[in-house]
Structure 1
Amino acid sequence: MRRGNDDRFSVVDLFSGGGGMSFGFHSHPAFEVVGAADAQLGKPSSARGSLACNSTYQLNMGIEPVAVDLSSVSPRDLKRALRVETVDVLSACPPCTGFTRTNSNNHLVDDARNSLVPRVALYAKALKPSVIVMENARELLTGNFLSHFKSLERDLVNLGYTLSNGVHTLTTFGLPQIRERALIVATRSDVESKTLEDLWDGYRVSPDALTVRRAISHLSSLEPGEVDRNDPSHVAPRFATQLNRARIAAIPHDGGSWRDLLDGGRKTAKFLTPAMMKLVERGKLGSFPDVYGRMAWDKPAPTIKRESGHVGNGRYAHPVDDRLCSLRELAILNGFPADYKFGGSSLANKYRHVGDAVPPLISYQIASAVAWSLTGDRPAITEIILPGTSLRAADILPVNANEMAA
């Protein structure tokens, strides 16, 4: 079964992005990542290569993904481009943009990118992996366009795979961020599927390990546009206008939101945008509460999305500094190790590399579960922690008898 070098299991990553899923396997001693593929499309109208995520991938994995369009490349041509015939583990995480509920249009219109999900079965048939892993928005399994997953499920079952799938809140597994994701694991009949729940059976994470404070408070204070002298990724963009900077400065520290601007009279109400004013007029203050919001020190971060590189896109402002959270801060909150490198020249794209990614803190655990499936050896709970991330061995606590009964 082992086909990598040094008797390790081989891994190919499709839709590899900036390497979030790959890095978990790359860092695990049981695996060797032997190939990856990504067309580097920021959005359907973008030119191929515009996202520049393959440079980030290469900086951290040491191999360059092939830039092929997985919506059209044949399995035969993909194998030729990757220079592989078969593989032990296939990671395939198609874009979630067409499924996620953050785009209200997704409840009504079936995005063309959603058809990438069933195409994974074509590549599985050609590469013959023992295990397939897929991560996506929860709506892949719960939304209006479930048919794409059902098509994939049918084709994989016909190829002899058994599927385990579910929706997970990733704070359960130590990520300091509220992030709900669908995870699918498909295994051949001779492989016993092991899941994240199996890894964590009998254990839980200390709540103190899940806060923004714990994850990023040690990083230096910054002004907008300032770069930390010791870490080029600890940088936040300059504000496009002084008005935006003044608006963030007017929002209370440690969890404040745009709705707090209403409490300061004329002095702060002048910072309300036209969209905010319309919500006020309609009495719908619950709509988009995180826009221009600050993170709270003693809570997990909100979901870090691909367009997290602007304070107007969510609760991405620093708890106390009057700026967007830096690239490094958001990367740590999304489970990247503190020394992860980001390539390309566009800071906005680097933020997308973070927001698009499977959190490496989680993908290392996925790799640990897959290794257990392939070898039959259960790892110790302390062995599933990716070094350099915010999760530590002391954060993992045994579940007591009362908790198990509940």
Structure 2
Amino acid sequence: MNKHWTVIDLFSGVGGMSYGFHAHPKFKIVGAVDAQISKPSSKRGSLQCNIAYQANMGLEPLDEDISTLEPKNLRNILTTTLGTDALDVLISCAPCTGFSRTLPDNHLLDDPRNSLVMRNALFVKEFRPTIFLMENARELLVGNFTHHYQRLQEELMHLGYQVHGKNYILNQFGLPQRRERALVIAVREDLTLRTLEDLWSGFHVRLEATHVRRAISSLPPIAPGQPNPKDFLHIAPGFSEQKSLKRLQMIPKDGGSWADLRYCPEAPDLLTPAMLRHIAKGKLGSHPDVYGRLSWDKPAVTIKRECAHIGNGRYSHPEQDRLCTVREMSILQGFPRNYQFMASGQANMYRQIGDAVPPLISYQLAHVCEWILSGKKPSISSVILAHTHLKPEDIESEFDEQQTSFELPSHISVPV
């Protein structure tokens, strides 16, 4: 096939969703847009993700805000790359901050940014893609403000699309991280809609392949604040307070947390006032994840935007006394080991990673789109993204397992 299927990414970020299509030989990204906002209170351009996107994809995203950019104006801008051809895939992973259950206000208040979900319909109407693809927080489909998704679904169906939305725990597809996300795929009515579970039907990933040990144990040890000379992204922040370092040094290796220190004689000096209050109440809740270590033989916890500090979650190395490095965190997020992150500070690199769709998953979604567009199912071995921790031997056939566990009826004997 000489002609590539075309892709536009409306919230391109550092390129997590785009990269899966960029790495697939049958797709070509013809447009990307991102306003580079690092967090709700920050100004445009603060995330500095577009330069990293360009370094990895070879395409400079438009520094535009989708909330105000008119679809027709975007089409005019992209005329030279898209031409008059119909668009094949439109990606729009709008910010999930307004839906995420980790923010208490989201259980009560409908964040204005949630309206970006419905705004996608305007771009679908303008570009008429064969496939529309979106990723967001699980609460998009099950939270208090699911009407945003329901309205989008109704409008897409009105425009002639079949729509499938479902929450997935992504380590089932090989991600070394327990990450639950909503995936929405809409397909033109004249084609057959396919999903991730269709792609993986009859196969599964070996459990060990989703563990932290498999993903990052081969990286060389480093001290906090000291980069590895062979990979400048294999670096973790230093400690501004010695108490934080001492606390981490005393936390048990391989999955320990500050809660393990509550009976330690030095606890009053090592633990923060908030930790001591939780102990006094006897209600630790999810608070032990703060300053916690990852476990070698489990998937990582969900990597979130603010993962640049050990006090923000269970992001410390299983053994070494430091935060996981930029490179380690990106591997746990399904990025290839040669992916480039660029920003004026490490905190933005961590944010770029936490905000991203895991490329290990987006590459599989690209194969789902290939199946829809071509009518031919890709081989399961072809869905493994190069330079990630996942290997062909990590995929097992459920049919083979059934054959192995099959037992002959008792009345049948096998000749010796």
Answer yes or no: same fold by TM over 0.5: yes
- Structure 2 CA distance for partners of 1:353 and 1:404, relative to 1, 3 Å: farther
Cα contact 2:262–2:279 (8 A) shared by 1 = no
The 3 A distance-change label for structure 1 pair 404 and 279 is farther
Q: Deviations over 1:171-229 (max 9, x none)?
A: 11000100000000000012211111011100011111011011000001111101010
Q: Which residue matches 1:137?
A: 137
* Secondary structure, counterpart of 1:232 in structure 2: coil
Gaps of 5+ in 1: none
Structure 1 runs, 4 residues or longer, greater than 6 Å off: 402-405
Q: Displacement of 1:78 after TM fit? A: 1.7
Aligned residue among 15, 18, 34 for 1:19: 15
Letter aligned with residue 31 of structure 2: G
Is this contact kept in 2: 1:331–1:354, CA < 8 A?
Answer: yes
The whole-number CA distance in structure 1 between the counterparts of 2:259 and 2:227 is 30
Q: CA deviation at 1:402?
A: 8.3
**Structure 2 unaligned runs (5+)?**
407-416
The residue number in structure 1 matching 2:350 is 351
Secondary structure (helix, strand or coil) at the match of 2:133 reads strand
Q: Deviations over 1:47-91 (max 9, x none)?
A: 110110111111100001001111111111122233345411000
Whole-angstrom CA distance in 2 between matches of 1:87 and 1:14: 13
Structure number with greater Rg is: 2
Instruction: Name the residue aligned to 2:410.
Output: none
Cα distance in 1 for residues equivalent to 2:123 and 2:220: 45
Shift of the alpha carbon at 1:247?
1.3
The answer to whether the aligner puts 1:251 opposite 2:251 as a matched pair is: yes
Q: Which residue in the other structure is 2:413 paired with? A: none
Q: What fraction of aligned residue pairs are identical, expressed as a percent?
A: 52
1:106, distance to aligned residue in structure 2 (A): 0.7
- The SS at the match of 2:192 is coil
The aligned residue for residue 401 of structure 1 is 402
Deviations 1:241-283 (A, max 9, x none): 1111111111111100110111322x24421111111111211
2:379 aligned with 1:383, yes or no? Answer: no
* TM-score, normalised by the number of residues in structure 2: 0.94
Distance 1:197 1:287 in 2: 31
Structure 2 match to 1:371: 370
**1:91 alignment counterpart:** 91
Is residue 53 of structure 1 aligned with residue 49 of structure 2?
yes
Counterpart of 1:65?
61
Which residue of 1 is the match for residue 409 of structure 2?
Answer: none
Distance 1:91 1:226 in 2: 38
Aligned to 1:294: 293
Aligned residues: 400
Deviations 1:368-388 (A, max 9, x none): 001000001111110000001
Q: Which residue of 2 aligns with 1:117?
A: 117
**Contact 1:36 1:82 survives alignment (8 Å):** no
State whether structure 2 residue 190 is matched by structure 1 residue 190.
yes
- Residue 263 of structure 1: SS of its match in structure 2? coil
Residues 66, 81 of structure 1: 8 Å contact kept = no
Distance in structure 2 (CA, Å) of the matches to 1:82 and 1:147: 32
Structure-to-structure mapping, 1:210-359, within 5 angstroms: 210-265=210-265, 267-359=266-358
- How many Å separate the matches in 2 of 1:343 and 1:386? 22
Amino acid aligned to 2:93? C
RMSD: 1.5
Asked if structure 1 preserves the Cα contact closer than 8 Å seen for 2:178 and 2:300, the reply is yes
Structure 2: distance between partners of 1:58 and 1:103: 32
Q: In the alignment, is the contact (CA less than 8 A) between 1:66 and 1:82 conserved in 2? A: no
8 A contact 1:178–1:300 mirrored in 2 = yes
Read off the aligned partner of 1:27 and give its amino acid letter.
A
CA distance in 2, matches of 1:396, 1:369: 17
